[in-house]
Amino acid sequence: MSSSNSPASQSSNNYVEQTVSVLSSVASYMRLPALASTVRTPKLLALKSQSQNQRPRPQSSPDTDINALLHRVSLPSSPRYYTLSKSPYTTPLVSISISISVPVFFLSLPPFHYCSTRIIILPRPALTTCIRALIYPSNIPANSRSDVPKPSDFGLSNFEELYIPTDDGEKLSAFYIRGPRGHKNSNITILMFHGNAGNIGHRLPIARMIINYIGCNVFMLEYRGYGSSTGQPDESGLNIDAQTGLNYLRQRAETRDHKLMVYGQSLGGAVAIKLVSKNQEAGDIAGLILENTFLSIRKLIPSVVPPAKYLTLLCHQVWPSESVLPNITKVPTLFISGLQDEIVPPKHMKQLYEISAAPTKRWKPLPAGDHNSSVLEEGYFEAMSDFIAEVTDDQEKEKTRS
């Protein structure tokens, strides 16, 4: 999908400029590919441009063209590095030796620069804090806890901003965004779980594409410790949050009879897998959509930070998707994999696809997609739309037969 030169496209310039203005406030955001991976982006955009010039592109309107929302953002001229300082702790409970001086990416983080260090001695509580900071960088980009774009910033007017309580006392912010009234998919709601940094507002261009291209409603739930939600993130807490979001949709009058699609990107894929595995028996989850997620955090660490491969057992945040996914036997699953993913090796997604026991499973490879750019690849939203149509039609046929 690319921006069209049609009159409709040209007349939308003002809207696009407003969109770019909002996105510029989160210019280091790592899930929106046009804004991220500053080390690789110039080359990436050049390759995309060359590829796009070699093949015909369908006409598209500003409402169904994610490039019109993302592609015009100016990028930083040089990579931004975040340096980990040497530890002041001296309690010899856990010893860590890191010696690496190249930029690395962790899930959806901007480049972290790990400077060569001496042996770092960390007490176990400090190690726990460090691990959480790496896996759940909710303050990146800057002001992510306070600056949350709204759907109205992206031309989405039919929405509700919500605060939903959890059973353990947290309050989760959320957006419920309605699709076009009267659309054939207006009885489908997508529960969307994002990657490990930024906030739900940063994913609104993706939500807008889903709404305008597919016609579904989108429920964007914010994890604890992210955006405007209270609390501190960890694996058990995020699982509580996901269940809270699903329970809300099941109890809400407007959505209790909707077909639900659970959609997770990167870390959000692990959240989605766990949620669906626990809730598939109810029959209201029509499908699971996974993009660029991993087998487990422990199996991902050696690919991201090779010197830390001997410390994986110390990582208390496990997210064991490879052992949970085979338990999903009643929910169709779509696997969207960027084959140039530089963070989660594509073999993680392929192995998840192979071990899946879903009644229907679909594999969508994106040959030029990396961890941050897959959503921009041709066929991404088409695959999502086709999958939703397939599984919801199958459900209707099953109801008719019964």
Positions annotated as catalytic residues are 266, 341, 371
Residue 141: asked if its preceding bond is cis (omega within 30°), the reply is yes
Please report, as a single letter, which amino acid is at residue 290: L
3-state helix, strand, coil in the chain (%, to 5): 40, 15, 45
Note whether 87 and 58 are within 8 A (CB): no
Distance (Å, whole) CA 184 – CA 166: 32
Structure-token pair, residue 194: 């994002």
Nearest to 358 by CA among 290, 301, 306, 309: 290
Distance (Å, whole) CA 8 – CA 156: 18
123 CB neighbour count, 10 Å cutoff = 15
Please give the full DSSP string across 277-291, using - where no structure is assigned.
Answer: HHHGGGS-EEEEEEE
Distance (Å, whole) CA 376 – CA 51: 13
Distance (Å, whole) CA 57 – CA 379: 11
Distance (Å, whole) CA 296 – CA 321: 6
Distance (Å, whole) CA 260 – CA 391: 11
Distance (Å, whole) CA 44 – CA 34: 9
Please report, as a single letter, which amino acid is at residue 251: Q
Cα 81 from chain centroid (whole Å): 22
Backbone angles phi, psi at 174, to 5 degrees: -160, 155
* Helices 235-251 + 267-279 axis angle, to 10: 60
Distance (Å, whole) CA 393 – CA 398: 9
Backbone angles phi, psi at 263, to 5 degrees: -125, 120
Q: For the chain, how far is it from start to end, CA to CA, in angstroms?
A: 40
Distance (Å, whole) CA 90 – CA 74: 44
